[in-house]
A = this chain, B = another copy of it.
Amino acid sequence: MPTIAATIIQILAEEIIGGTLAPGSKLEEKVLAERFQVSRTPVREALREMGARGLIELIPRHGGVVANIGIAELADMLEAECELEALCAQLAAQRMSVVEKKQLERLHEQTEALVKGQDEGEYLTLNKKFHDVICAGTHNQTLSGMLRGLRDRLSAFRNAQAGTERRLAVSHEEHGAVVEAILASDGAAAYAAMRNHDARLSTKVLDRLRDSRHERTAPRTERPAAAHLHST
C-alpha cells in the first residue's frame, strides 16, 4: 500500500501535467486536505516533493502555485529539451536492441492511422509513448529521467495552451526521419532529425506564448541578456 502523500503526488502531478490544473493556480494545503479527506501533513509533503521536481513553485509562507513559466524560462527549458532529446535519440540509435527498434517501428506505424484520422487526443498519447521509448533506448536512466522530468514540466505548460499542434502530418513525418535513422543505427542522423523536430516545435510554442502574453500583460523582464536560441 503506497503512502497517502505518494498518492496525492501522483494525482496532482497528473492534473498539472495534463493541464487540468492550470499554471498559476494556487494550491492551498487546507483545500487540498479537504478535497482528499486527509490531514495537511501528507499534503504538505506532496507539495514539497513536487516543488523539488519543479512542477510547482513553493515560496516560504506563501504556499504553492502551479509553476507558471515566463518566456525566458520557457526558452531555456525548450532549448534544454531540444538538446537533451537529440542526444537521447543519438544514443538510442547506437544502443537500441532489435526488439526495442521493432517496438519503435510498430509504434510509428500505429500513429500513421491516427494522423489520417486526425485523432488528436490519441495521437498525443502515442506521441508521448514514442518519446518514452526513445528515452528507454538510451539505456541511461539518468539521462532519460532528466529528459522525462523536463518533458513533464513542459507538458504542464503546453497543455494549458490551446491546440498543441495542428499539423499532425508534419510532426509525423519528422518522427519518421528519426525512426529511420534509429533503425539504421545512425546516431548522427538521429541526433539531427530529432533536433530539427524539437527546434521547429519550440519556435511555435514560444511564438504562441509571446502572442498570448502580449495581449494581456507586459512581458516580465526576467533575463535582460537574451539567449541566442538555436544559434548553432
User: A231 within 8 Å of B by Cβ?
Assistant: yes
User: A163 within 8 Å of B by Cβ?
Assistant: no
Which stretch of A44-52, A104-112, A117-125, A198-206 is in the interface? A44-52
Contact indicator B79/A187 (Cβ below 8 Å): no
| A79-B45 contact in complex given A60-B6, A95-B228, C-beta closer than 8 Å | no
Q: How many residues of A contact B (CB 8 A)?
A: 38
Chain B residue at smallest Cβ distance from A97: B225
Residues of B within 8 A of A3 (CB): 60-61
User: A142 within 8 Å of B by Cβ?
Assistant: yes
**Selected contact of A140 from candidates B5, B79, B139, CB within 8 Å:** B79
User: A173 within 8 Å of B by Cβ?
Assistant: no
| 1/0 contact string of A47-70 vs chain B (CB within 8 Å) | 011011100000011000000000
Alpha-carbon distance between A46 and B77 when the two chains are bound, in angstroms: 26
User: A150 within 8 Å of B by Cβ?
Assistant: yes
User: A143 within 8 Å of B by Cβ?
Assistant: yes
Residues of B within 8 A of A53 (CB): 52
Alpha-carbon distance between A87 and B2 when the two chains are bound, in angstroms: 39
| A83-B94 contact in complex given A44-B45, A60-B2, A140-B76, C-beta closer than 8 Å | no
21 contacts between A and B (CB under 8 A): A3-B60, A5-B48, A45-B45, A52-B52, A73-B142, A76-B140, A76-B142, A77-B142, A79-B142, A80-B140, A80-B142, A80-B146, A83-B87, A83-B143, A87-B87, A94-B228, A94-B231, A97-B225, A139-B223, A141-B223, A142-B150
